[in-house]
Amino acid sequence: MHSRILILLVALIFFNNLLFSQQKITGKFTDTNNKGIGGLTVFLKDYQSKDSIIGYDITSDNGEFAINTVEFRKNLILCSRSLTYQDSCIAIISNKHSPIKVTLKEKQIDIESVTVTRRGVERRGDTLVYLVDKFQTTKDLSIGDVLKKMPGFTVEQNGNISYQGKPISKLFINGTDLLEGQYGLATNNLPHSSVGTVQVIENYQSVKALNGIIPSDAPAVNLSLKQGIAFTGITELGGGGTPELHRINVTPMFFTKSNQFILSFQANNTGYDLSDQIKSFAMTSGVAILFEDEKESLTPITNIQTPNIDKKRYLDNNSMLFSFKGLQKLGESSDLKISVNLLSDVLEKNSSSTVNYILLDTLIRFTEHIYNKTNSKQLHVGTIWEANKERVYFKNITNFKQYWDNELGYIKPDSSSFQQRASLPSLYLNNSLNGIVRFNNKNFINISSNIKYWHSPHYSDYNPFLYNIGSITNDSSTVQQRLSKNQFISTNQLNYTHRIKRIAMGLTSGIDVDKNILSSKIIVQDNPVTSDSLRNKLNTLDLSTYFSPNFMWEKKKINISVDVSLRSRHIGINNELTHVFNTINRLTVDPVISIRYSSYLFNCSFSYKYNQSLSNPSSQLNGYIINDYRTLNNVKGAISEKRSNSLFSYINYKNHITGLFINSNFRISFFESNALDSININNNLRTVTSITKYNKGLSATGYFTSSYFISRHSITIGLSGIYNNVIRSVLLNGELTKSNVSVLNIKPSLSIMKIKNMSLEVNSKFDFQISKVGRIYSKYNSKTNSLKLSYILKKMIFCVETDLYVVKINGDKTQNTYFNFSYNYNILNNRIKLEFRCNNIFNKNSYAHYIQSDTYSISNIYMVRPREFYISLSMPLIFKASN
Amino acid sequence: MISRKFVFLFLLLLCKYLNIFSQAEDYFIIDTVKFKVQYYYQFQEDSTNKESVKILVQSLMIGNRYSEYLTENIRLMDSIRISGGGIGQNMVSYAMGSSHSFFSFDYIYKNYPQKRKYAYKVYRSKVTYIMAEDLTFNWNVDFTRDTLINGFKCTYAKCNFAGRNYNAWFAKDIPIPDGPYKFYGLPGLIVRIADTQEQHVFQLEKFTKVKYPLYIYNDSDENYKPITPKEFIQVIKANVAEKIQMARGINFNTPEDQARSIARLQGINNYIEKY
């Protein structure tokens, strides 16, 4: 009984408080004839902070309103707004004045008409749609030119496309993946005028059988052609002088529902790199990731570091590419793709460089003038058969590649002259198979197998070799090196995943085999050198079996995954010269845990990884091999073991309404290893070996990129930055020392699509680098500004391009400025574009740049393309289908 | 563009020839349009398929007292209606917007017949319906959150309506408490409103001050069958089922075409209101 009374009392006190804390303001708005005004917007504001609205109402037909507030406030302001009556604001005291009566005079408020131009970016479901016509300028020809200006996209100089910091997993054209990663061919030759929208599908799961079971965080891009376009492409023909210049590009493309093909013939010596168009940038197939196969040059000539500027400024080339890509639909969900690429590339590089090798408190300097000519011929033939059904996924990729590469180089360190030649042919065969069977909505099996074979019989000669080592004499005789490598790699994996509501559990097991046969010998005056320290005959086997349970839990926006990989590794190294056979067996545990959160605008992730790894035995050597005319290389000794603890996080924000896209990530890795690079320079001969010694270090990388698109003015503003810091130990002439290299790179950019008759693109880049190795401290910064200004008339465009490069090394400053001019005239209602171009107007012949590592630095003066005049006719091919 | 104009003219001539607009006297002016607001309505037709996104352009005609909201191709037909029209004209508009007909809103009169009421007139399955209810929204306005959308300074509000949660952005500087579809009652014109899953998105594209005589017409409610919004959802479902039945009975070129057509109709399941 007592408790009831107590509750009642408490309730009364509480209710009384509520009565005092809430308030209701009522009243009526009338016109001068005392008639109620309906439809007025009435605001109630706090008297103290006049901007804060605490309640509102819309008046009824007879002008009455009632506003309830959550908190009691004594002094208030009551305001009204409408289109037909004057705005009003009166101060009221809540208890005193309610109900309030306000009389308003009629007054027409003028609101200007506003037409919103379509935004450049729209969201349709989980797809972001970029309208191509919002980003294109009259000067652009291909879709690649337009992609660069779209917020969220990064198109690197080699054509690699990233979206919000992640490389894109697929590039579709009208929903079909014809290109399989080699998307440079399409982005450079598909006219933007045939593309209606660029669609970005984030978290795209390309394998239908995995939909709803395994989420994906890979973005895919679809180029949606304008309605009815079935035949498109580009044709271009151009020529010029000083020296003779030519450029031919005939690339027709054909797209229908049942088949697609791209045929391309391109040739140029104008600095346009064709090899980028046949590079595979990202290849993923469901959960199986295929290898990115780059040819290894075992005994190349002395390399010249190319400048980090626009390739077209310096690339001295004579290139030809024939490419065919075809796709035939074999049914509703399977297709066959065939790809043939034939590339011939002759490149000339010319530079004067000063290489400083850092040795504790001294620098050893080499100044050399180097001229290289490389002649590369490549044939790639590939077929892909893919079936992508709701229950079953199957994909088989077969590749054949043949390289015929030759290199010739002349080096003049002083008055003497050295010649190097290398023949670097390679054969590559690969078959990759991936199959997935989905049993129901809960479980599936995934089998993948990848087999590849490399055969590389390489040959080089040095005339003369600089130093006397072993039995090599330092007279003018030619020293030859023959190096042959046969590599067989097979990776095989079986995965079973079972999903129960929000949890997916999987088991992955596999076996990897990597077998190498390496032989090398040095021949002096036609006689092979017999010393074991100068020849190799190694047979290595790397056999790895693993078992990896994994677990994933997801709830709406949160995803947590744990993966623990147990790996047994067997390494065998058979030295056939000394008949010594070494074996290493290791059992490693590599756990990974990651947490991901994703929402409409925002997603972020955090992951931790512990990794134990052994170095690849295929990089082992018994005897030295010649790296160039003054460097010997040897990686012998124990297989290195490395342990690392890595933390990785990323934050990603995108708002298509405001046009703001932000992406940042940070990675830090603490590592320890039992192997160390030992660098020795004696009598100007540099030797690099790997020795057994415990050491530790860290590497940290931070990346930030943001872009903001202002649709009303068609402006894209971008800012990106990279920070990298590596601290590690090195052995320099036998003395252990710490190296610490920090690099900061900042890139602001501005692209104004069009203001009246002008369009403008401004890109800047600032690099700061500080390094400390032993007692040597160096500082380097560079500034790059490029500006492209176009003046656009109805049929013609005048364009000026300037690049300004400022490099400052330890206080010494060099500056390079280049100017280009172009004039474009559109003929036949924009169907044909005539371009006249003059590059490097002031005929600057070189570019000075700087490369810093922890053990050496290079100051390089690279010969760039001279002033040249060029005229071309280009025509987008666009035909609509009759139906 | 040309083909759309051609269809329009053809239908206009056809209508004139058939003299189906013989009931001009049934229509009467209820208000003069002062502002015309064009919205871009983007919706996901199939709730399970994120690719099934469609777009419609819709108009809000604001008068001194009432407003009228309708899909743009239907508004174009108003010119026919002015010259004489009746229920039959809805058939024409239906034919014009056939690809989106399930999601197009025919005529929503707000503050009609009195403040804070609406009348929604539609034509489905050869029957004309009217929904008449109160304009009541549980808006939760956050005056501290603002943003700029297409140049309009906007304030944030949220509400729950007909089975979905909505995020809205309205312009206080335009003191018109109106918006797209049935949305009403914020202290400013709604510039953008979307459900939290972004399956139904309305965004202002054009705000025009009307400087020529343009009127909001209405006709007698007597020709319309009263219905509730919940019942209307059932009508739409029945309408879709009827179309599927029809598709099953039609001889298509290939069985695949027929299956595709039926699958597309079966995917029409994500109407803006759900109960």
Residues from chain A that touch B51, judged by Cβ atoms under 8 A, are 125, 127
Report the C-alpha gap between A852 and A621 in whole angstroms. 27
Tens digit of each residue's pLDDT (9 = 90 or more) over A606-621:
999 999 988 888 877 8
Mean pLDDT of A299-309: 83
Bond prior to A876 in cis (omega within 30° of 0): no
- Cβ <8 Å between A123 and B198: yes
Distance of CA A768 to the CA centre of its chain: 21
Element (H, E) at A716: strand A715-732
- Comparing CA positions, the residue from A399, A374, A395, A187 lying closest to residue A293 is A399
B185 touches chain A (CB under 8 A): yes
Size of interface A-B (CB pairs under 8 A): 89
Spell out which residues of chain A touch residue B158, defining contact as CB-CB under 8 Å.
none
- Pair B141, B155: CB distance under 8 Å: yes
Nearest CA among A166, A187, A119, A183 for reference residue A705? A166
Residue whose token pair is 């001295």? A316
Split at pLDDT 50, 70, 90, the class of A9 is very low
Rounded distance, CA A487 to CA A539, Å? 10
The pLDDT confidence band at residue B10, using thresholds 50, 70 and 90, is: very low
d(CA A630, CA A370): 14
Residue pLDDT, tens place only, B193-233: 999 888 899 989 888 888 888 888 888 888 888 999 888 88
Between A71 and A331, the more confident residue is A331
B143 in contact with A at a CB cutoff of 8 Å?
A: yes
Write the DSSP symbol of residue A132: G
DSSP string, A158-217: TS-EEETTEE-SEEEETTB--STT-THHHHHHSBGGGEEEEEEETT----GGGTTTS---
Give a three-class secondary structure readout of A61-107.
CCCEEEEEECCCCCEEEEEEECCCECCEEEEEEHHHHCCEEEECCEC
Residues 21-40 of B with CB under 8 A from A: 34-35
User: Which range in A132-146, A224-238, A763-777 is most confidently predicted, on average pLDDT?
Assistant: A224-238
Helix (H, G, I), strand (E, B) or coil at A849: strand
How many separate helices (H) and strands (E) can be counted in chain A? 5, 50
In the stretch 46-65 of chain B, residues with CB closer than 8 A to chain A read 50-53, 64-65
pLDDT tens digits for range A452-486: 999 999 999 888 776 665 555 555 567 889 999 99
Report how far residue B70's alpha carbon sits from residue A786's, in angstroms, rounded to the nearest whole number. Answer: 50
At A291 the pLDDT is 42
Question: Are A115 and B206 an interchain contact pair (Cβ–Cβ within 8 Å)?
Answer: yes
DSSP B43-59: EESSTT-TT-EEEEEEE
The answer to whether residues A423 and A481 touch, using CB atoms and an 8 Å cutoff, is no
Tell me which chain A residues have a C-beta less than 8 angstroms from the C-beta of B148.
658
- Rounded to the nearest angstrom, the minimum Cα separation between B176 and chain A is 7
Please list the alpha-helical segments (H only) found in A391-518.
none
Which residues of chain A are at the B interface, by a Cβ-Cβ cutoff of 8 Å?
Answer: 38-41, 43, 52-53, 56, 58, 60-61, 81-84, 109-116, 118-119, 122-127, 600, 657-658, 711-712
On whether the CB atoms of residues A101 and A78 are closer than 8 A, the answer is: no
CB contact under 8 A, B150 and A39: no
What pLDDT is recorded for position B12? 43
Give yes or no for a cis peptide into A464 (omega within 30° of 0). yes
Of A443-447, B19-23, B85-89, highest mean pLDDT: A443-447
Residue A864 neighbours by CB under 8 Å, 6+ apart: A307, A313, A314, A818, A840, A844, A845, A846, A847
Residue A131, phi-psi category: left (phi > 0), alpha (psi -120 to 50), beta (remainder): beta
Other Cβ atoms closer than 10 A to A35: 10
Q: How far is A43 from chain B (nearest CA, A)?
A: 8
CB contact under 8 A, B148 and A658: yes
**Is the pLDDT assigned to residue A404 strictly greater than 90?**
yes
Q: Nearest residue of B to residue A125 by CA position?
A: B50
Highest mean pLDDT among A452-466, A482-496, A714-728, A845-859: A482-496
Q: What per-residue confidence (pLDDT) applies to A259?
A: 86
Give chain B positions within 8 Å (CB) of A71.
none
pLDDT in tens, B172-197: 888 889 999 999 999 999 999 999 88
Residue B6: pLDDT over 60: no
Helix H or strand E segment including A145: helix A143-147
Q: What global pTM score does this model have?
A: 0.69
Contacts of A118 in chain B (CB under 8 A): 205
- Cβ atoms of B60 and B179 closer than 8 Å: yes
Q: Report the residue of chain A nearest B34, measured CA to CA.
A: A83
pLDDT surpassing 90 at residue B52: no
**Per-residue pLDDT at B92 exceeds 50:** no
Is B198 part of the contact surface with chain A (CB cutoff 8 Å)?
yes
Distance from CA of A58 to the nearest CA of B (A): 7
pLDDT value for A474: 56
Cross-chain residue pair B53–A124, CB shorter than 8 Å: yes
Is the Cβ–Cβ distance between B112 and B118 less than 8 Å? yes
CA distance A763 to A747: 7
Residue to substitute from B48, B51, B184, interface A, most A β-carbons within 10 A: B51
What's the Cα-to-Cα distance from B261 to each of A514, A721, B100, B254, B264, rounded to whole Å?
Answer: 52, 50, 14, 11, 5
Give the model's pLDDT for residue A424: 93
Query: How close A115 comes to chain B (CA, Å)?
Result: 4
Q: What are the DSSP E strand ranges found in A774-880?
A: 776-792, 796-809, 812-827, 832-839, 846-852, 856-863, 868-880
A335-349, B216-230, B234-248: least confident range: B234-248
Q: Given an 8 Å threshold on Cβ–Cβ distance, is B51 in contact with A600?
A: no
Residues of B in contact with A66 (CB under 8 A): none
Instruction: Kindly state the tokens that stand for A461.
Output: 């000669």
Cβ contact, residue pair B206, A111, below 8 Å: no
pLDDT value at residue A435 = 92
Mean predicted lDDT score pLDDT of chain A: 83
Q: Residue A683, class by beta-carbon neighbours within 10 Å (0-12 exposed, 13-18 middle, 19+ buried)?
A: exposed
Block residue for tokens 């009984």: A1
Asked if A65 and A26 count as a contact pair (C-beta separation under 8 A), the reply is yes
- Chain A residues touching B196 at Cβ < 8 A: 600
CB contact under 8 A, A122 and B34: no
**Chain B residue with Cα closest to A116:** B205
Residue range A543-570: mean pLDDT, rounded: 91
Q: Is the pLDDT of residue A444 over 60?
A: yes
User: Which two three-digit tokens encode residue B104?
Assistant: 């197009």
Tell me the shortest Cα–Cα distance from A122 to chain B, in angstroms.
10
Check CB contact under 8 Å for B114 and A116.
Answer: no
Contacts of B116 in chain A (CB under 8 A): 58, 60
List CB contacts (< 8 A) between B198 and chain A.
123, 125, 600
Q: Select from A38, A116, A712 the Cβ nearest to the Cβ of B205.
A: A116
Whether B42 has its CB under 8 Å from any CB of chain A: the answer is yes
Q: CB–CB of B65 and A38 under 8 A? A: yes
Find the CB nearest B150 among A81, A116, A123. Answer: A116
Is B157 near chain A, with CB under 8 Å? no
Per-residue pLDDT at A495 exceeds 70: yes
Whether the pLDDT of residue A223 is over 90: the answer is no
A704 to chain B nearest CA, in Å? Answer: 24
Range with lowest mean pLDDT among A135-149, B153-167, B179-193, B221-235: A135-149
- Reported as type and span, the H/E element at residue A224 is strand A220-225
> What is the distance in angstroms between the Cα of A422 and the nearest Cα belonging to chain B?
54
| pLDDT at position B25 over 70 | no
Write down the residue that tokens 């804060």 correspond to: A52
pLDDT over 70 for what percent of chain A?
Answer: 88
Residue A835, CA distances (Å) to A239, A272, A795, A796, A798 in order: 11, 16, 12, 10, 10
